[in-house]
Amino acid sequence: MQYIDSKKKRKFFMRAIRQILLLIIFLQIFTGLSFAQEQAGKIFEKALYLEESEGDLQKAISLYEKIVKEFGKEQEIAAKAQLHIGFCYEKLGRKEAVKAYETVVEKYSAQKEQVNAALTRLAELRKEPPKGLSVQKMSGWDTPGVFIEPFEITPNGRKMIGVEMIKGQNIVMFDLETKKIDFITNHVWSREGYCWTYNPILSPNGKEIVYYSSAAGESAKPAGNNLIVSTLDGKSRIIASDTSTGFVPNAWLPDGSAVLIIKENTGEPHQLGLIPREGGDFKSLVSLQNANAGVGRTSAPSSSISPDGRYIVYMDVPPGEKADIYIISTDGGTPKHLFKHPAEDKQPRWSPDGKYITFLSMRHGSWALWGLAVKNGEASGEPFMIQDGMKNSYLLNWTKNGLASWIILDITDIYLIDVNPETGEPLGKPTQIDFVPTGRSGTPVWSPDGNSFAFLRGSDEGIFVVIVTGNQNREYSLPAGFNSSGLRWTSDGNTIGMVSNNKQGEFSLHRLNVISEEWQSTPITAGPGFVLFDWCAGDKNIYLTRSGKGIVELEPQTGTEKFLFQDTSAVVFRWLKCSRDHKKLAFLLLNKDLLLDIIVINLATNELHEAGTNFGTFSWSYDGQKLVSDMSFNPKGNKQALFIIPASGSHANEVNLSQYLPPESEILTPDWSPDGKKIIFMLRSRQSEVSLFRNIFPLAK
């Protein structure tokens, strides 16, 4: 009996050991599965963030593929990852999206939710292409932290050619899929001299870019004004150069043998003509009537060459009239109206098949995209509207998928915040001022008594000075033909001044008497470039920046001036403001490390010292002991904060307001009230996108 009991005990013991071993194995498998699921889940969350929040689709795809490859046994999360691979490729406009969705259906049939989603997308992608107009927003170009002004999209739609302005004003090529930036030029901002570049145009074979380059400062290379052709790896050659003439590239001849440019001639009509790709004699085709055909968005997109190379359509503005579109042979001859209409027409673009011209027009009372059939250099039929709502739009170029367009809209409003007069610390939330229309107000400044503030308001009709006193608003239109600049009150509060230039580049000091509502303008010698000013004590003379020279005290009536600060290198000024007691003058100056220093001058002794580095626009506290600044010129700074900077130059205090402000908005031009109890500032939000117009020309039938 004892032997039997021992045998039973052994069997029981062995059974228990087997059960324990099975439990251990099960726990190991379960723990491994749980760990795998946890790891895959973390990677999926990271990939989803990259896809939906950062817009970095290529990195998201890499992480989703990692999940599919390394955690394939986790069918549910692997199916979700495979589905999102399809989503990413679809956002990129890539054909791989179809294959990704098909893989979900074939490989993960048990995952019904993911399969149904994949089938829905496949059905949508396999539909017939739309027969009518469609507008597709291009993704990838508006990457956070990167702003490139677009000029062209490559024919395959994968890269953008534009201008980037962080380290210098450079021509770049930006890959919309990988987010890689290739610098065609490598200029840097420098006090000793710098070059700025603009108007890049890709050659027909896609191997070269022509652009305009202008130098500031004696040490800038290449010196002068230059028309440059560069390969994509940065090897360049100058094909035209001058010290006084500017060159605006518009287009290449289809065979790449020459470039169509606007040649700017000081004091003479600008010329539209051709210059050989290797350099040589300029062939003028027509003298432009538009006196303001300078480098920039108003002129760069003003002409287009027919695909067969026979004709050029271009925009010109006869004196006293609206912009019209003309046509001329590439061999020269007499230009003629392609069509004539009382409304403004601009930015003509020849379609790739040569049968149509697209352009922007105001002929229905608002900016819209229009088209016109052409044959043998003549209009064939009547213009037809393609798309309304094209205000603030610029036509780029045609790609294989359609016509590219860029729209940029700056929304600017005025905000007030109560602060501690001694520290600048906020005593409440910033609030938007009660003023309509919203979205077009900027550069606010307090009156000397603090009872009013003035700001500039943009509109379709022009720019207005708005003065707010309590609940009463007064508006004053600027003199016709003048651009706006920053406002400055005189110390008695009766006058507001500004310095600006007209279309001919002539500068004037404008004074608005806020009581009589009359303007007085005095021509002054200023420029070239950006000009800043403020009133001297007594409000008779002004402090004025002179690029490449320094800061002068100018007597506007006589033109007499003397240097307050002098530097013969290529001085780059970004802001200028006098303290309320007129004892100190501060300005922003680019230093040798390409950072912006706030320099303070003691006006009694002419002694200078640095108050801070890498800040933006600023104003003085009521007692002249502190400055309040933004981060407008610092690409890495907190754009939603105010910075209180001791004028003596010690540590700045950051006042972060991001919790109260819309995402991606930025604070600009803060102004501290005379009693120190409020700070007023402009808040800017930028909306910008590139779109493709597809299937345009069925609308002509």
- Domains of the chain, by residue range, sit at 2-125, 302-400, 409-688
Chain centroid to CA 210: 21
Tell me whether the CATH fold assigned to 2-125 matches the one assigned to 409-688.
Answer: no
- Three-class HEC string of 330-372: CCEEEEEEEECCCCCEEEEEECCCCCEEEEEECCCCCCEEEEE
**Which residues are within 8 A (CB) of 23 and not within 5 positions of it... i.e. 6 or more apart?**
none
The per-residue DSSP string of 306-319 comes to -TTSSEEEEEE--T
pLDDT of residue 27: 41
pLDDT at residue 243 is higher than 90: no
Mean pLDDT of 463-484: 75
pLDDT of residue 3: 42
Report CA-CA distances (Å) from 382 to 313, 324, 363, 574: 17, 15, 13, 49
Chain centroid to CA 146: 9
pLDDT of residue 527: 64
Q: Could you tell me if residue 179 is left (phi over 0), alpha (psi between -120 and 50 degrees) or otherwise beta? A: left
Least confident of 165-169, 337-341, 567-571: 567-571
Q: Could you tell me if residue 443 is left (phi over 0), alpha (psi between -120 and 50 degrees) or otherwise beta? A: left
pLDDT of residue 599: 93
Cα 153 from Cα 139, distance rounded (Å)? 12
Mean pLDDT of 511-519: 91
Q: Could you tell me if residue 472 is left (phi over 0), alpha (psi between -120 and 50 degrees) or otherwise beta? A: beta
Topology at the third CATH level for domain 409-688 = Neuraminidase (2.120.10)
Cα 372 from Cα 340, distance rounded (Å)? 12
Q: How do residues 622-672 score in pLDDT, each as one tens digit?
A: 999 999 999 887 767 889 999 999 999 888 999 999 999 988 899 999 999
Which of 6-10, 223-227, 234-238, 289-293 has the highest average model confidence (pLDDT)? 234-238
pLDDT at residue 267 is higher than 70: no
Mean pLDDT of 389-412: 88
pLDDT at residue 586 is higher than 80: yes
CATH code: domain 2-125 is 1.25.40.10
Percent of the chain with pLDDT over 70: 84
Cα 226 from Cα 24, distance rounded (Å)? 78
pTM exceeds 0.85, yes or no: no
Kindly state the helix (H) or strand (E) to which residue 247 belongs, with its residue range: strand 246-252
Angle CA 386–392–396, to nearest 5? 65
Mean pLDDT (the chain, rounded): 85
Cα 264 from Cα 332, distance rounded (Å)? 19
Q: Could you tell me if residue 437 is left (phi over 0), alpha (psi between -120 and 50 degrees) or otherwise beta? A: beta
Q: How do residues 117-169 score in pLDDT, each as one tens digit?
A: 988 888 777 765 556 788 888 766 666 666 788 999 999 888 999 998 877 88
Q: How do residues 377-387 score in pLDDT, each as one tens digit?
A: 999 888 999 98
CB 684 within 8 A of CB 410: yes
Q: Specify the higher pLDDT residue, 5 or 44.
A: 44
Cα 339 from Cα 370, distance rounded (Å)? 13
Cα 502 from Cα 527, distance rounded (Å)? 12
pLDDT of residue 25: 46
Q: How do residues 299-325 score in pLDDT, each as one tens digit?
A: 445 899 999 999 999 999 887 788 899
pLDDT at residue 24 is higher than 50: no
Q: Specify the higher pLDDT residue, 524 or 478.
A: 524
Cα 506 from Cα 531, distance rounded (Å)? 12
Answer whether CATH 3.40.50.300 is correct for domain 302-400.
no
The per-residue DSSP string of 485-527 comes to ---EE-TTSSEEEEEEEBTT--EEEEEEETTTTEEEEEEE---
Q: Please give the structure tokens belonging to residue 485.
A: 């600049």
Q: Specify the higher pLDDT residue, 358 or 75.
A: 358
Least confident of 73-82, 189-198, 233-242, 330-339: 189-198
**With DSSP H G I counted as helix, E B as strand and the rest as coil, what are the percentages for the chain, rounded to 5?**
15, 45, 40
Residue carrying structure tokens 């000009």: 531
pLDDT of residue 295: 43
Cα 347 from Cα 299, distance rounded (Å)? 9
Angle CA 670–675–678, to nearest 5? 40
